[in-house]
Structure 1
Amino acid sequence: MRIWRELGYTVTVPLMAALGLVHLLVVLTGVLASTYVVGLPLLAGCVVGARRLGAANRGLARTLAETDVPAPAPHRQGRGLLNRMGAALGDVAGWRAIIHAVVRLPAAALAFASAAGTWGLGLVLLTCPLWWQVPGLPAPGGWAGALLLSVLGLGLLLLAPMVVHLALGPERMLVRKLLGPPPAQARIRTLEETRALAVEDAAAALRRVERDLHDGTAARLTALAMSLSMAREELAGAADPERLERARALIDGAHRGAKETLSELTDLIRGIHPPALDKGLEVALATLAARSPLPVDLDAELAERPSPAVETIAFFCTAELLANVAKHSGARQAAIRLRAQGGRLRLRVWDDGEGGAVVADGEPAAGSGLRGLTGRVRVVDGELAIHSPAGGPTVVTVDLPLRA
C-alpha cells in the first residue's frame, strides 16, 4: 500500500542521508589529501563508491516511493592504473551521486519532519485519553480536553498520508535529477535507441519489398513468360483453328496477368512512397479519408510543409490508425485533426468506437498495430499518446518534429 511504503521511505531516508554524509566526509578527506600519494586513489575510490550509494537510493525510491529512475551508463575502467584513476575521477555519475548526498539533506529532513509531525504527533494526541491519567502527568483539561486532543490527533492521522506524499516531492525530484543518467547521456541513449529502430524499420521494409516482389510480382511475371512462350508455340501452327483458339486464350490470360502484375507493382510503389504526398500531406490525408469505409471528418491546416520523411510517417500513421478503426473499434465515425505549431506537427485521430486499445500504463494492446507505430514515430524523436478507455472513445495523438 502506498501509504505504508512512503512512511517506510521517510524513515529510511534519514539513514541513507547519514550514510551519504559519512561518505561525503571521506570524499572531503580525499580532496584534502589529494596533494599526497594516497589522496587521489582514495578520492577515486570514493567517486566510484558513490555510484553504489546512488544505486541503493534509486532502489529505495523505486520500491518505496514509486519513483523509477533509469540507471546511468556503466562505469568504464581504463587500462593501467593511471587510466583507471583518471576514469574514476572523471566519472560524472559518481560526482552527481556525491552532489545528491549533499543537497538531499534538507529534503530528507523535511520528509522525516512531516512524518514525525503528522503520524507521530497524531498518534500521541489520539491516545491522549489513555496516557493523561498516568500519575505525575498534567491533565489537559480533564476528559473534555483529552477528547478534544484525541479528535485533533485523528485529524492529523487522516491528513498524514497526503502531507507525507507532498513532503516527499523534493526528495523524488532530486532522485530523478541527480541519480539518473545525465541529460547528455540520456540523449545519447535515446539517439542510440532511435538509430536501432530506424535500422530495424529499414530492414523490415526491405524484407517486405523483397517478399512482395518474390512471392507476388516475380511469380506472375514467370507465369506471364510461360504463357507467352506457349502462345508462340501454338501460333507456329496457325492453320489449325483449335491451336489458334488455344493461343488466343493463352494471350488473353497473359494480358490479364500483365494487368494484375502492373496493379501489384503500383500498390508496392505506393507502399514505398504514396503519390498523393507529392501534392502535400493535407491532400494525402484527404485521399485516405475518402477511401475509408467509415465517415471521416478531416480538419487539416498547415502553415508550413513538413519535411518528406515526417510527411511519410504521418501519412502511414494515419493509414494504420484508420485501418484499426475500421477493423477493431466498431466505430460509426472518425475524425482527423492536423496542425503545425511551434516547430511540431500534431496529428490526432479520434473514433467513437468501443475503446480498449491500451491494456495498462498506456501500452498498446497486442495485435493492434499501435506498437509498430510507436517505433516508427520514435525514429524522428516523435511521441505517440493513446487515450482509449473501455467503452471509448479512442484518441491517438502523434507528435512529430516538422523537420527530421
Structure 2
Amino acid sequence: MRKGTWMGTPERAGRELAYVLTLPLTAAAGLVYLLVVAMGVMGSASGLGLPLLALCVPGARGLGAANRRLARLAGAPVAGPAPLRLPAGLFNRLGTALGDAAGWRAIIHSLVRLPAAVLAFAAAGGLWGLGALLLTCPLWWQAALVPALRPAGWPGALTASAIGLVLLLAAPAGVHLALGPERMLARTLLGPAPAATRIRTLEETRALAVDDAAAALRRVERDLHDGTAARLLTLAMSLDMVREELAEAGRSPRLDRARALLEGAHHTAKESLAELTDLIRGIHPPALDNGLEVALTTLAARSPLTVALDADLPQRPSPAVETIAFYCTAELLANVAKHSGARRAEVQLRARDGRLRLRVSDDGDGGAAISPATGTGTGLRGLADRVRVVDGTLGLHSPPGGPTVVTVDLPLRA
C-alpha cells in the first residue's frame, strides 16, 4: 500500500480538522436560514411571504457559495452553478427568483447536512478529543490521585495513554471517512445540476466549434485575398498590357479575332475578381480587423441615412460574435434605408455582464414584422436564425407609424 493512502497526509488531516471545527457555525447559520425560509413558506399562502421567499431563495446562493469554499477543506472541490439572470419586469423577476434551482438546492443542503455534520463533529471529537485526553492520562492521573494510590494506578494510566495514542493515529482516517456524507452532499447539492452541467458542456463544445469555424473562414478569406485574388489581379493587368500591345500591332482579320477574344478574357477576369472580392468581404469584413466599433463606424458612414452610433465596448467580443453583430447591423441599416421611409437611424452597442446588446432604431413608418420561417434565411427571420446559433435573441418593436426598434442580444463569447 502506498504511503499516506490510509492515514492521509498531515496537510489533509489539518484541513479536515479545520473543516470540522467550522461545522457548528455553518450548521447553525443554515438552521437559522431554514427558519427564515419556513416563515416565508408559511406566509406564502396569503401572498405576504412571497417577497420574503423570493429574497431567501436566491440569497441561499451565498450560503451555498460559503459552504462550497469550505468544502475544499474537506477534499470536495465543487464547481459553482450558473449565475442567476433576472429578467425585466417585477413579476418576471419574482417568478425567476422563486424558481431558482440553485437556491433551492442550497436550502435543501442546509437541511439534510445536519445529521452528516453531527456525525463528522462527533467522530472528530471522539477521535481527536478523546484521544488527546487519554494520551495525556499519566499527567492528569498523577496530579489527581493521592500519593498513596499512585503506584497502583500507573498500569491503568499507561493503558489509557496507549489507547489514546491509537485513537490519535486513527483520527485522520476516521475523520476522513466520517466526512464522506458531507462531501457527497456538497457535490450533489451545491454544484450545478447534472442537466445544467451537460448543458454547460454542450455550450462550451458549441463555442469551440463556432470559434473554430470562424477561424477556418478567416484562413480561407486570407488565402483567397492573398492568393487567388492577387493572381486574378495580376492576370487582369497582364491581359490589359497584351491588349495595349495588340492595339499597336495594326489591323488584320486574325488580329481582330485575337482582340475580341482578349477583350472577353479581360472582362471575365475583372468580373471574377469583383465576385471574389465580394465573397471575401462576405466571409470577413476587413473593417473588423480593427474591432467591432471601428467596423460599425465605417458602416454608419457609408449608409445613405444619417446614422448616429453610440458604442461602449470595454471588452472585445469573440470573432464569431463580432461577425454576427456586424452583419446584423448591416442588414438592419439596409432594411431601414430600403423599406422604412426613415430619415435617420441610431445604433447603440453595449457590453455588460458578459452580454453584447445591439439596438438599432429609426424614425420610419414602422409596421415591420418577423415573418414565419420560409427557409430562405433572409430578412429579420434570417437575422433571428443567425443570432440563435450562439444563443442570442432578436427582439422587434415596430408599431404602425413607428418608431422601429430592433434589439439583438448576444453573448460576448460564442
- TM-score, normalized by length of structure 1? 0.52
**Would the alpha carbon gap of residues 107 and 219 (structure 1) be closer, same or farther in structure 2, given more than 3 Å must change?**
same
**Would the alpha carbon gap of residues 149 and 60 (structure 1) be closer, same or farther in structure 2, given more than 3 Å must change?**
same
The answer to whether 1:181 aligns with 2:192 is yes
Q: Which amino acid aligns with 1:142?
A: G
The answer to whether 1:112 aligns with 2:112 is no
Q: Is the 8 A contact 1:132 1:140 kept in 2?
A: no
**C-alpha separation in 2, matches of 1:121 and 1:36:** 51
Q: Is the 8 A contact 1:3 1:161 kept in 2?
A: yes
1:96 aligned partner: 105
CA distances 1:264-320 after superposition (whole Å, capped 9, x unpaired)? xxxxxxxxxxxxxxxxxxxxxxxxxxxxxxxxxxxxxxxxxxxxxxxxxxxxxxxxx
| Runs (5+) with no aligned partner, structure 1 | 235-404
**TM superposition shift of 1:50:** 1.3
**Would the alpha carbon gap of residues 230 and 87 (structure 1) be closer, same or farther in structure 2, given more than 3 Å must change?**
closer
Q: Is the 8 A contact 1:118 1:160 kept in 2?
A: yes
Q: Is the 8 A contact 2:75 2:183 kept in 1?
A: no
**C-alpha separation in 2, matches of 1:82 and 1:204:** 42
Percent identical pairs in the alignment equals 70
**Would the alpha carbon gap of residues 48 and 226 (structure 1) be closer, same or farther in structure 2, given more than 3 Å must change?**
closer
1:312 aligned partner: none
2:52 aligned partner: 42
Q: Which amino acid aligns with 2:97?
A: A
- TM-score, normalized by length of structure 2? 0.50
Q: Is the 8 A contact 1:110 1:167 kept in 2?
A: yes
| Runs (5+) with no aligned partner, structure 2 | 1-10, 246-414
**TM superposition shift of 1:219:** 5.8
SS in 2 for 1:71: coil
**TM superposition shift of 1:230:** 9.6
**TM superposition shift of 1:140:** 11
1:2-401 correspondence to structure 2 within 5 Å: 2-62=12-72, 64-135=73-144, 142-215=153-226
**Would the alpha carbon gap of residues 224 and 163 (structure 1) be closer, same or farther in structure 2, given more than 3 Å must change?**
farther
The root-mean-square deviation of aligned C-alpha atoms, in Å, is: 3.2
**TM superposition shift of 1:70:** 1.8
- Which segment drifts farther, 44-53 or 214-223? 214-223
**Would the alpha carbon gap of residues 34 and 223 (structure 1) be closer, same or farther in structure 2, given more than 3 Å must change?**
closer
Corresponding residue pairs, total: 237
**TM superposition shift of 1:30:** 1.8
CA distances 1:166-196 after superposition (whole Å, capped 9, x unpaired)? 2212111111111111222222222221111
**C-alpha separation in 1, matches of 2:91 and 2:191:** 27
**TM superposition shift of 1:13:** 1.8
Q: Is the 8 A contact 1:78 1:84 kept in 2?
A: yes
**Would the alpha carbon gap of residues 41 and 225 (structure 1) be closer, same or farther in structure 2, given more than 3 Å must change?**
closer
Q: Which amino acid aligns with 2:153?
A: G
2:348 aligned partner: none
**TM superposition shift of 1:209:** 3.2
Q: Is the 8 A contact 2:116 2:182 kept in 1?
A: yes
